[in-house]
Structure 1
């Protein structure tokens, strides 16, 4: 039988010194994310949150995600200050694509043997992500599972609940021919494609702590946290009639864009409209990866795609510039019966 010791934020009574220390730290840390709707305190068996009062027909939106093998780089560099931001970002960015506001976040942290300092750093970074997202960290679980993990290995999962007015749900159903695709820039690979990145590093015997890219340590590109788009997307949806939003995650452009396209439509991406950031050029060269495959795995510099009427497209870009969001028209929607839902042209 696996010797599992579960330490939950809700259960402060577990008789173990490390868990008690961590729980006390967590109680102080999570106060930074408190909001009026949270009506319970850390330490109970569950967490309670009221729905905001300014909704007529509130619809709850749920998502869960992780950060995959990017965790290996956090362990390798002993840099735990960003990985929690990645975890929050992967969840809240999925929440906002339907126009919802993230309400609260929970995390699951499992390891072979609890290191309070590492766990505290990770929780602190989760709090940073929640603060950027305007959502509350209301609880979670930390588990010691020595039969599964070894040394200081650990894994994380995140869970987020958001809310959207039923009449304002963005689901892609209104997308039609000649609508414009507007790209919002990414900060790097975000949290996708890292198994391939690790393979490239190992195959080419590249030490990311030593190697440089454009006079900057390679590791800085690789551990750059995932961008959180919550505040700017919510500002955008308040002002414009947005028909669809795509979060470019695992599966890249090829798998994510079709998820919101109506039948008999196709997204045409004009890849001459932007230059890939240096890290993606490096990945393609070092891995000898074809462009189509890059678009199937990575975001290639595009974290979010917004779809709107062509009449509003330029106004949207001007608005995004005012709120310091880099955006550009990346393509258009056309009618098509092709099984190829996304095509790339120059």
Structure 2
């Protein structure tokens, strides 16, 4: 398993970039094996491959501060989905079963990476946030207002699942149109 952005670069970018910039490569790795130029425009992405790979990470701090000011008693978890993708929640809490049964449909760049890298969707959900940059675990009574606050910041938000008790260690179930995946 690789870091998500490393996998994206390696499976999308042409091998000429590795020859031209060998310092970018892992000496023990496969190198770049993709078929795209950095400045190649793809209709399915509505941008160049380089723009898709280098799109900046959203800064969630302002919206989180606003939510916590109003709902700090009802927020039971905050997860910034970088490094660990959709499985990062497994690091939070004890004896919790996270059920993500209505995940956000992945952005087109994730479908492209999956196709080009020839990796399974299970690994994609482990390595990438799949379009869910931040998760807020909140009590039911505050859900609508938390979504409303988030939308006022120009961000999309929806309920993607729920938390249940788990015997023993934390568990995660993701049910998506790409399959059902279980993680521990």
- Fold conserved between structures, TM > 0.5: yes
Number of the residue aligned with 2:120? 290
Partner residue, 2:67: 236
The reply on whether 1:222 has 2:53 as its aligned counterpart is yes
Classify the secondary structure of the residue corresponding to 2:160. strand
1:320 corresponds to: 150
The alignment status of 1:259 with 2:91, answered yes or no, reads yes
The equivalent of 2:7 in structure 1 is 196
Whether the 8 Å contact between 1:253 and 1:342 is mirrored in structure 2 is no
Residues 45-60 of structure 1: pairs in structure 2 closer than 5 A: none
Runs of 4 or more off by more than 6 Å in structure 1?
none
Aligned length: 153
Given that residues 147 and 158 in structure 2 are in contact (C-alpha distance below 8 angstroms), is that contact kept between their aligned partners in structure 1?
yes
SS at match of 1:234: helix
Decide which of 44, 54, 79 is 1:246's aligned counterpart. 79
Mapped to 2, the partners of 1:221 and 1:326 lie a distance apart of 19
Flag structure 2 segments of 5+ consecutive residues without an equivalent: 14-31, 177-184
Unaligned segments of structure 1, at least 5 residues: 1-191
Q: Which has the higher strand share?
A: 1
Report the alpha carbon displacement of residue 338 of structure 1 after superposing the two structures with TM.
Answer: 5.6
**Residue in structure 2 matched with residue 144 of structure 1 by the alignment:** none
Aligned-residue offset at 1:210: 2.1
CA contact (8 A) 2:104 2:132 kept: no
The structure with the larger Rg is 1
1:337 is aligned to 2:151: no
SS at match of 1:203: coil
Q: How far apart in 2 are the matches of 1:249 and 1:323? A: 20
TM-score (norm 2): 0.75
How many Å separate the matches in 1 of 2:48 and 2:81?
25
Aligned residue in 1 for 2:111: 281
